Amino acid sequence: MTTISLVQPSTAPAGTQVTIVGSGFTGATAVKFGATNATSFSVLSDNVITAVVPPGSGSVLVTVVAPSGTSNGVSFAYTVPVITVINPTSGPATGGTSVTIIGTGFTGATAVKFGATNATSFTVLSDNVITAVSPPGTGTVQVTVVTPSGTSNGATYNYVPTLTSLSPASGPAAGGTVVTLTGTGFTGATAVTFGGTPATSFTVNSDTQITATAPAHAAGTAAVTVTGPGGTSNSLPFTYIPVPVVIALAPASGPAAGGTSVTIIGTGFTGATAVKFGATNATSFTVLSDNVITAVSPPGAGTVLVTVVTPGGTSNGAAYSYTGTPVPTLTSLTPTSGPAAGGTVVTLTGTGFTGATAVTFGGTPATSFTVDSATQITATAPAGTGTVQVQVTTPGGTSNTLAYTYV
């Protein structure tokens, strides 16, 4: 008669080798776990058999089939794998993180899942330890281990966004720069910060792109991060450019005709894109250092403010005075044509006309002219042919030209 007295261990996952103790085992033809044959077995003696637990779940009866018959059944319970801890508990949305999973019942594991996605790869180091490489993902997922005995409990793993680039990577300290953030895992992003300060606004364009408006921040470098459901990304530097400051001009005055080389002293001049005398660009300028610019004054009149423009913004203004009579400027003629015999009364509009001494049409003096104001002259066109250039001359110099056509 075949009899089982003990199965050791009596609780284990599939794939475990168990020892069966009893009698009448000689010539055994099968070992069964419930209705399923053992994966393999060895009859060591009439009293001892070792057998490898086949896939299964729950509690079953172990029996031995021998020529003398089938033994009694002894209870055996399949162990479902249990996860107690994973390390680390978060990683980038791109995946590729090696995660150590600690628990029990891992022998024979057939899969490790991050949410519904299989791990890129995994290795069962022992019944208690698995290492698995995280697949790409987003948000918060549950890591589980699947064995022939069942699926484990879940352990929380957080996918954090990954930043790869910013464009542009700099802007004025006043804020307002629209920055394109590129990376992965941006879906569901809840915050974008610049040096800890929330972006003025941001839009998640896709899982790989966000556009954000930089807030105001002190000059210098600020760390940009993205926060999603799974956590906060790595950081990338964004440089805040200071607003330039003009402290002094030397000299602070020059002739109305322009052409004066003015040294501008201040801070934040690196990358300057313009120097202005009032609303007029300097004839030319050179950035000697972050603190010094030399600029050639354009023609002008009165007192104007000199400002420096950089990617950080426009500076305060420093007063510059034009001395002497300004060079006249022509802006329009009405009408711009008349008969070859002359006699057309033409209205000239511009600036600096006070004290005008001549109005010429292609070098020929106007038949007559009247200075109505500093901004208007009425002149009678002399006889002529074709298209000629009209100019005004004052004590300050000779104006630009505008075309007048004889028809």
Counting residues of the chain whose pLDDT is more than 90, the rounded percentage is: 85
Q: Are 107 and 54 in contact (CB under 8 A)?
A: no
Give yes or no for a contact between 141 and 210, defined as CB atoms under 8 angstroms apart: no
**Gap between the Cα atoms of 243 and 308, Å rounded:** 9
Per-residue pLDDT tens for 338-353?
999 999 999 999 998 9
Q: Which CATH class is domain 1-76?
A: mainly beta
> Shortest CA distance to 287 belongs to which of 254, 258, 264?
264
Six-digit token string for 340: 């070859």
Q: Judge if 80-158 and 165-239 fold alike in CATH terms.
A: yes
The CATH superfamily label for domain 80-158 reads: Immunoglobulins (2.60.40.10)
Q: Tell me the C-alpha distance between 11 and 376, whole Å.
A: 107
Say how many C-beta atoms besides its own lie within 10 A of residue 261's C-beta: 15
Q: Which two tokens stand for residue 213?
A: 């408006």
Residues whose CB is less than 8 angstroms from the CB of residue 52 and which lie 6 or more positions away in sequence, other chains included = 15, 16, 17, 18, 38, 39, 40, 41
Could you tell me the two tokens for 13? Answer: 């996952």
Q: Average pLDDT in the 152-176 region?
A: 94
Q: Homologous superfamily of 327-404 in CATH?
A: Immunoglobulins (2.60.40.10)
The answer to whether the peptide bond before residue 251 is cis (omega within 30 degrees of 0) is: yes
Report pTM. 0.63
List, for residues 110-148, the tens digit of each pLDDT value.
Answer: 999 999 999 999 999 998 999 999 999 888 899 999 998
> Domain boundaries in the chain?
1-76, 80-158, 165-239, 243-321, 327-404
Q: What span, in angstroms and rounded, lies between the C-alpha atoms of 224 and 216? A: 13
**Residue of 194, 135, 180, 130 lying closest to 159 (CA atoms):** 135
Tokens coding 123: 């290795």
Mean pLDDT, to the nearest integer, of 171-190? Answer: 94
**5 and 24 Cβ atoms separated by less than 8 Å:** no
Task: Read off the pLDDT of residues 214-236 as tens digits, 9 standing for 90 and up.
Answer: 999 999 999 999 999 888 999 99
- Kindly give the pairing relationship between strand 162-167 and strand 220-228: unpaired
pLDDT tens across 235-267, in order?
Answer: 999 999 999 999 999 999 999 889 999 999 999
Q: Do 341 and 390 meet the contact criterion of CB atoms below 8 Å apart? A: no
CB 86 within 8 A of CB 101: yes
- pLDDT band of 395, cuts 50, 70, 90: confident
CATH, domain 165-239, list 2.60.40.10, 1.10.287.70, 3.40.980.10, 1.10.357.140: 2.60.40.10
pLDDT above 90 (res 327) = no
Dist CA 331 CA 407 (whole Å): 22
Q: 243-321 architecture in CATH?
A: Sandwich (2.60)
Furthest-apart CA pair in the chain: how many Å?
143
For the chain, what percent of residues have pLDDT higher than 70?
100
Per-residue pLDDT at 66 exceeds 90: yes
Which residue has better confidence, 390 or 185? 390
Distance of alpha carbon 402 from alpha carbon 82, whole angstroms: 90
The yes-or-no verdict on residue 79 having pLDDT over 90 is: no
CB environment 20-58: b (16+ within 10 A), e (fewer)? bbbbbbeebeebbbbeeebbebebeeeeebebbbbbbbe
Q: Is the pLDDT of residue 211 over 90?
A: yes
